[in-house]
Amino acid sequence: MKTILLSLLAAALSGLGFGQATSQPAPSVIERQPLDRWLGDWTFETTTRASPFGAGGTNVGACSVLPLLAGQGGEFRDMANGPQENLRRIEPDGFDPAHGGFFWSSFAGDAAVIDPAYTFDGPRVAMVGTLRARDKRYRLRSLVTFADDFQSFTDRREISADGVHWTLLSESRAAKVGAVLAAPDRDTPQSAPPEATSPRPGSLAPTPRTALPPLQQQWLAKAYRHEKAGWIFLHIEGEPRERGFQHGYLLAPEIAECLRVRRALWRYYTSLEWPDLLKETARFMTPRLDPENRAELLGIVDGLAAAGVPVTLDDLVAYNARFELEWYWWPEVVKKSAGGSTAVTPPRQSCSAFIATGAMTRGGGVVLGHNTMFDYAEAGCRLILDLVPARGHRLLMQTFPGMIHSGTDFFITDAGLVGAETTIGGFSGFSEWGIPEFVRMRRATQDAATIDEWCAIMQEGNNGGYANAWLLGDVNTGEIARLELGLEHSALERSRDGFFLGSNVAENLKILRRETGTNESDIRASSIARRVRWKQLMREHRGRIDVALAQQFEADHYDTYTKSERPGGRTLCGHHELDADYAPGWFNAPFDHWGTIDAKVVDTAMAKRMSFAARWGSACGRAFDAERYLEDHPQYDWLDGLLKDLPSEPWVEFTAGEKQ
């Protein structure tokens, strides 16, 4: 029943007729012009009344209208989330020059067909048509009224069984993605009280929460954030659009800042302008988003817009894909354009991780530890995201504001899975035909109930981007695994009584020899020195590994090349900023602004209660002073305004659902 009601909404949003035959003359610009107003991405909300079709209710959805046949028509795709069901629909629509009018075709899942014709009158679109459902037939009329800027509209629907007596069926509001969905008149407070919020960046004025449409206020009532020891904890829940809105609205200042830094670093590291990058990602990445991830990203766009931060879907795709774009896709582009030159930045070596189980650990359960070695200029990943999807598994993961995957990566799920990764050092290769890594990672983590399912989702459509060695654990069975995922080769190892390590060296010979340029014996290299250190620690502490030891490991400063305590680029807790040495396989410059920016640990008991411990900033607690660093190393003066301090913070524990 909802399907019929939703199809009414679809009618409102489309209003495009379909050019039935390409041999027909193309409509004139004036005739076609009204079609343009439908093109783009929309968000909508429809409230239906009780009617012969059902009890009514509120549906929320997203739709995209793409041009067809050189502007003669449009392809209309929408999905909606309602109280009872979800709808996906594709409709061809357009202008029929033979009849000089607009019409469209819509076939709903329950065989309802509606066939309205439209007329445009300035900002208004009037529709009359027939609604047939099973054996019943109704007259349908609607009036769509656009706002002056054509960025939003309202739609009022009525039905009649006899063509004489009309009853209200539905009222809808729609807005272009990034524009604010207007509050219904009756619910708009006369003078909305200003909400106490920190100033938000961006050119638009933020919409106070109390002035948002009631539905968005209801959404926000389910979400919350607080800050602890340098971290932000954010709880979001519900349908994709809903939780995306919560994320975008509640983290708007942080997302805006992360995007500002990302755009600046992208341009500096690649020389490619951000808008030119977006043209590329719109070509080979955005079309490969699955509907749920796309809807969540569109929700973030809307939440940001409501908070006064204008951001596009393409911005968020490029931002979410930052690892695979900068480290994997771009080097391949340069390689091709330079006629085979490999003189481009290799994938960064970063992160130190281990997972152990069985006889290795105190108590025999799973223990996982991970730290992120990353660019201090982009140390924005201080978000602990507690995500409760309407379908799939609850996630608690570290991530960056505005990302729908982890990125760093560290996660636990209510399926009993824990996971982390370290990048495969010296790797090259990327396929534009594959599914983006960030899409697969999120799908795997939300959808998988077992290690096998998680790995299968990651491998399906692998694009080679962000080629990682994934360390996985199932705390229900005590099994651990390592999935090394190259582009051409992959390897899955499993154990119920052992450990797997991650320090940016491929362990699988095919990946090592055929997909990386790593010399696995050169202990001057960070990855090799750290691998040696991990093995020492595993030998020394066999049978005793627990959360406390895992915290020590991640903060370890023993350099296996110089055989001394010496925090630097070669230590598990990385400090390239302190290192004057040239490190093979690393950047060609000393004192790099790169090192450990966090540490996280979890064991079986914590994972079972959806909890893990984390430390923001260097895993050892050493603070990083941006101003002093730039004074000492003026060769990095271009980072002025981007680089931030990393203060010393304590270890703290996070639990899904915590309120403070």
The residue (of 525 and 620) whose beta carbon lies closer to Zn ion is 620
In this structure, are residues 202 and 308 in contact, taking their beta carbons and an 8 Å threshold?
A: yes
Amino acid symbol at 566? R
Q: Which helix (H) or strand (E) holds 18?
A: none
Stretch near Zn ion under the rule CB under 5 A, chosen from 210-218, 429-437, 456-464, 570-578: 570-578
- Looking only at residues 427 through 466 of this chain, which bind Zn ion when binding is defined by CB under 5 A? none
What's the min distance (Å) between Cβ of 360 and Zn ion? Answer: 24
What's the min distance (Å) between Cβ of 371 and Zn ion? Answer: 9
646 binds Zn ion (CB under 5 A): no
Stretch near Zn ion under the rule CB under 5 A, chosen from 208-216, 354-362, 564-572, 578-586: 564-572
Convert 225-251 into a string of H (helix), E (strand) and C (coil).
EEEECCEEEEEEEECHHHHHHHHHHHC
Quote the CA–CA distance of 78 and 69 in Å, as a whole number.
20
Q: Does the CA dihedral 5-10-15-20 come out positive or negative? A: negative
- Kindly write out the interface string for residues 587-626 of this chain, putting x where it contacts Zn ion by CB under 5 A and - elsewhere: -------------------------------x-x------
What's the min distance (Å) between Cβ of 529 and Zn ion? Answer: 14
The residue (of 91 and 554) whose beta carbon lies closer to Zn ion is 554
What's the min distance (Å) between Cβ of 601 and Zn ion? Answer: 15
The residue (of 479 and 592) whose beta carbon lies closer to Zn ion is 592
In this structure, are residues 500 and 397 in contact, taking their beta carbons and an 8 Å threshold?
A: no
What's the min distance (Å) between Cβ of 382 and Zn ion? Answer: 17
Per-residue DSSP letter, 624: B
Quote the CA–CA distance of 97 and 31 in Å, as a whole number.
9
What's the min distance (Å) between Cβ of 618 and Zn ion? Answer: 5
The residue (of 486 and 567) whose beta carbon lies closer to Zn ion is 567
Please give the size of the binding site for Zn ion, defined by CB under 5 A: 4
The residue (of 427 and 594) whose beta carbon lies closer to Zn ion is 594
285 binds Zn ion (CB under 5 A): no
373 binds Zn ion (CB under 5 A): no
Stretch near Zn ion under the rule CB under 5 A, chosen from 8-16, 36-44, 124-132, 559-567: 559-567
In Å, how far are 50, 51, 130, 136, 351 from 162, measured between CA atoms? 18, 15, 12, 12, 70
The residue (of 72 and 422) whose beta carbon lies closer to Zn ion is 422
Quote the CA–CA distance of 77 and 92 in Å, as a whole number.
9
Quote the CA–CA distance of 441 and 10 in Å, as a whole number.
32
Convert 105-153 into a string of H (helix), E (strand) and C (coil).
CEECCCCCEECCEEEEECCEEEEEEEEEECCEEEEEEEEEEECCCCCEE
59 binds Zn ion (CB under 5 A): no
The residue (of 184 and 647) whose beta carbon lies closer to Zn ion is 647
Amino acid symbol at 147? A
The total number of residues shown for the chain amounts to: 660
Return the residue of 573, 639, 646, 656 that touches Zn ion, per CB under 5 A. 573
What's the min distance (Å) between Cβ of 621 and Zn ion? Answer: 8
Query: Is residue 493 exposed (0-12), middle (13-18) or buried (19+ Cβ within 10 Å)?
Result: middle
The residue (of 381 and 451) whose beta carbon lies closer to Zn ion is 381
- Kindly write out the interface string for residues 100-139 of this chain, putting x where it contacts Zn ion by CB under 5 A and - elsewhere: ----------------------------------------
The residue (of 54 and 621) whose beta carbon lies closer to Zn ion is 621
What's the min distance (Å) between Cβ of 434 and Zn ion? Answer: 36
What's the min distance (Å) between Cβ of 561 and Zn ion? Answer: 17
In Å, how far are 387, 407, 414, 426, 552 from 611, measured between CA atoms? 13, 19, 10, 34, 19
What's the min distance (Å) between Cβ of 649 and Zn ion? Answer: 13
Spatial neighbors of 548 by CB under 8 A, at least 6 apart, are none
The residue (of 352 and 618) whose beta carbon lies closer to Zn ion is 618
Quote the CA–CA distance of 298 and 301 in Å, as a whole number.
5
The residue (of 27 and 569) whose beta carbon lies closer to Zn ion is 569
What's the min distance (Å) between Cβ of 350 and Zn ion? Answer: 14
Token representation of residue 23: 């041999």
Sites of contact with Zn ion (CB under 5 A): 567, 573, 618, 620
